[in-house]
Amino acid sequence: MTKTKAKETNELSLESILWNCRVALRGIGGNEKNRDAVMGLVFLKFAGDKFETRREQIKLEHGDVEAFLNKPSFYLSHSVFYLPEHCRWQHIVQNASDSGLAVIIDKAMMDIVDKNPSLQGALPQSFYSGFGATQRDLKKLIDEINKIDQKRFVDNDLIGRVYEYFLQTFAVAATKEEGEFYTPASLVSLIAELIEPYEGVVYDPCCGTGGMFVQSHKFIERHHGNRLKVSIYGQEKSPETRRLAKLNLAIRGISHNLGKPTGEQQSSFQNDQHEDLKVDFIMANPPFNFKDWRGEDELTTDPRWRGYQVPPKSNANYAWILHMIDKLKVDNGIAGFLLANGALNADGIEGRIREQLIKNDKIEAIIVLPRDMFYTTDISVTLWIVNNNKKARELNGRKLKDRQNQVLFVDLRRWSDNLEAYKLDGGSTKKKVVLNEEQIAKVKDIYFNWQTGLGYTDVPELCKSATLDEIAKQNYSLSPSKYIEFVDRDLDIDYDKEMKRIQQEMKDILQQEKQSQQMLQDAFRGIGYGID
């Protein structure tokens, strides 16, 4: 390799390498299959790196003794997956030119699961042989992934960055149905910062690729908590998405219980894998306006709807709300979840359920988000905070005031200036709105100040604390625009002054036009043309 090429390779950014991984499979397996192919091999790389690091530690502790080096418990006890020799990343790299490379990878995936039962259902099985990529294509991908090295990219969360990149970029290119598996990271971070899942049970009834769980752990790390005090429970009806979730959590060392696989059509409505579970926190992004979620006579007497009307078959929004409330601990449970804006004003049965929720004092905050934050839809959505304890108490070092029969409304629809561009496989880009750290901190301040009563004031076009009586007068609507003051900027206009300004501008324009015409006539006369 020439010095120039060597320099270019050394200076490649992490994002460039990850982009090259996508390019290596362009035109082969389609969006979902390419995602799975890349992420499976990324798992082997990171699992292999962790294995080799632990192996060196064992050598220092016990010497170069095979009985110790090949003892699975010496790895598993340190949250490191045990890898037989033919499953290790270096073995894959060394055999990348083998014509049977796909079979070698499939064999590695199968035997890793055999040695590490916690990975059951996480790794693709018999996938690469039927993927359709040539040995050359796979080798290109392996060569690129091999450049992702902790020594080269000093980052405490390199695994997280890489996984987040692929989940995000493949979601950008997904169809509406495919895109449901991923919730933008800034929104998940916002939920975690507001509900504060420091310790207890965190649950997601439609967990997608596990992003809510990852952010709950990141929240704990940011605030120097103990992640061992949090238990993760969830469910996902799509087998492929569930596998991605297990992979996402496993590579980060996050213990979890996602129940048993339920089949493509078995959501937590029909086949609740944690039926008797009561939880401290819920973080969720249910499918928006999910239709035909139950049969005509199915689930009509379900205890989850007790005290409310049965949610309509035509839309599952309020079924999700009641399903989650039923899962919360009745004394202190809190939930943060996303729903389409239509749920704020829906009438009929949904309107009556919403009215009862408000009367039962379940709703603590409604935060409408900017448009175009999701990768497969441009609609604006709402973050709901449901809280089973709005009484005065001390929480995480803050003295909360009594917020019973009060709801905080926040409207962030004008916060649409922060855009991130994502490169698509065809070379074009897609821009999406994101919330940055400063904006998330501002929302958190509004919410916490309102909870404590210290420093909170209603702000026109941003936030309003409304009472139950005020909400009742608005027919129990939860649309922030019904309560937050709108500033009519036309009232600040001095119309007499503005009319004089406009009239003067018109006079100036007419005068300039007259002067231009005179100059044109003089010019023509000067060259012998008579113009009268």
> In the structure, what pLDDT confidence band is assigned to residue 178 with cuts at 50, 70 and 90?
very low
Other CB atoms closer than 10 Å to residue 471's CB: what's the count?
22
Q: Distance (Å, rounded) from C-alpha 413 to C-alpha 485? A: 14
Residue 270 covered by a domain: yes
Q: Is 517 in the same domain as 416?
A: no
What the block records as the tokens of 417 is: 């200036």
235-259 confidence digits (pLDDT tens)? 998 888 888 899 999 988 899 999 9
Query: Which candidate, 132, 134, 136, 138, places its Cα nearest to that of 108?
Result: 138
C-alpha distance across the termini of the chain, in Å? 80
Q: Distance (Å, rounded) from C-alpha 9 to C-alpha 491? A: 61
Residue 97 covered by a domain: yes
Classify residue 386 as exposed, middle or buried by CB count within 10 Å of its CB (0-12, 13-18, 19+).
buried
Residue 171 covered by a domain: no
The domain of 43 spans 11-154
SS3 letters for 237-258?
CCHHHHHHHHHHHHHCCCCCEC
> In the structure, what pLDDT confidence band is assigned to residue 4 with cuts at 50, 70 and 90?
very low
Q: Is 474 in the same domain as 516?
A: no
DSSP string, 380-418: -EEEEEEES--SSEEETTEEEPP-TTEEEEEE-TT----
CATH code at position 478 = 3.40.50.150
Classify residue 313 as exposed, middle or buried by CB count within 10 Å of its CB (0-12, 13-18, 19+).
middle
> In the structure, what pLDDT confidence band is assigned to residue 532 with cuts at 50, 70 and 90?
very low
Residue 487 covered by a domain: no
200-209, 233-242, 381-390: least confident range:
233-242
Please give the average per-residue pLDDT across 256-276, as a whole number. Answer: 83
Q: Is 103 in the same domain as 197?
A: no
Residue 351 covered by a domain: yes
Classify residue 182 as exposed, middle or buried by CB count within 10 Å of its CB (0-12, 13-18, 19+).
buried
Q: What is residue 279's predicted lDDT score, i.e. its pLDDT?
A: 98
- Local structure of 28: helix, strand or coil: coil
Long-range contact pairs involving 107-114 (C-beta distance under 8 Å, separation at least 24): 108/44, 109/40, 109/44, 111/84, 111/86, 111/87, 112/47, 112/81, 112/83, 112/84, 112/87
Q: Is the pLDDT of residue 333 over 60?
A: yes
- Comparing 428 with 17, the larger pLDDT belongs to 17
Q: What is residue 470's predicted lDDT score, i.e. its pLDDT?
A: 97
Q: Is 477 in the same domain as 507?
A: no
Which helix (H) or strand (E) is 188 found in, with range? helix 185-195
Q: Are strands 381-387 and 334-340 parallel, antiparallel or unpaired?
A: antiparallel
472-497 confidence digits (pLDDT tens)? 999 999 999 999 998 765 545 565 67
Please give the average per-residue pLDDT across 353-374, as a whole number. Answer: 96
Query: Which candidate, 39, 134, 68, 43, places its Cα nearest to that of 96?
Result: 134
36-40, 386-390, 501-505: least confident range:
501-505
Q: Is 43 in the same domain as 192?
A: no
Q: Is 503 in the same domain as 452?
A: no
Amino acid, single-letter form, for residue 161: R
Query: Which candidate, 393, 366, 390, 394, places its Cα nearest to that of 380?
Result: 366
> In the structure, what pLDDT confidence band is assigned to residue 95 with cuts at 50, 70 and 90?
very high
DSSP string, 495-518: HHHHHHHHHHHHHHHHHHHHHHHH
Q: Is the pLDDT of residue 518 over 60?
A: yes
**Angle at Cα 176 formed by Cα 171 and Cα 181, nearest 5°?**
50
205-209, 462-466, 522-526: least confident range:
522-526
Q: Is 474 in the same domain as 498?
A: no
Number of independent structural domains in the chain: 3
Q: Is the pLDDT of residue 194 over 60?
A: yes
CATH code at position 119 = 1.20.1260.30
Query: Which candidate, 290, 160, 135, places its Cα nearest to that of 222?
Result: 160
Query: Which candidate, 385, 404, 383, places its Cα nearest to that of 393?
Result: 404
**Angle at Cα 247 formed by Cα 245 and Cα 248, nearest 5°?**
65
Q: Distance (Å, rounded) from C-alpha 106 to C-alpha 113? A: 11
Residue 173 covered by a domain: no
Q: Is 377 in the same domain as 501?
A: no
Residue 321 covered by a domain: yes
Q: Is 245 in the same domain as 392?
A: yes
With beta carbons less than 8 A apart as the criterion, state whether 89 and 49 touch.
yes
Q: Is the pLDDT of residue 348 over 80?
A: yes
Q: Is 120 in the same domain as 226?
A: no
Q: Is 67 in the same domain as 129?
A: yes
Q: Distance (Å, rounded) from C-alpha 319 to C-alpha 306? A: 12
107-124 confidence digits (pLDDT tens)? 999 999 999 988 988 998
pTM higher than the cut 0.75: yes
Q: Is 256 in the same domain as 128?
A: no
Length in residues, the chain: 532
Residue 175 covered by a domain: no
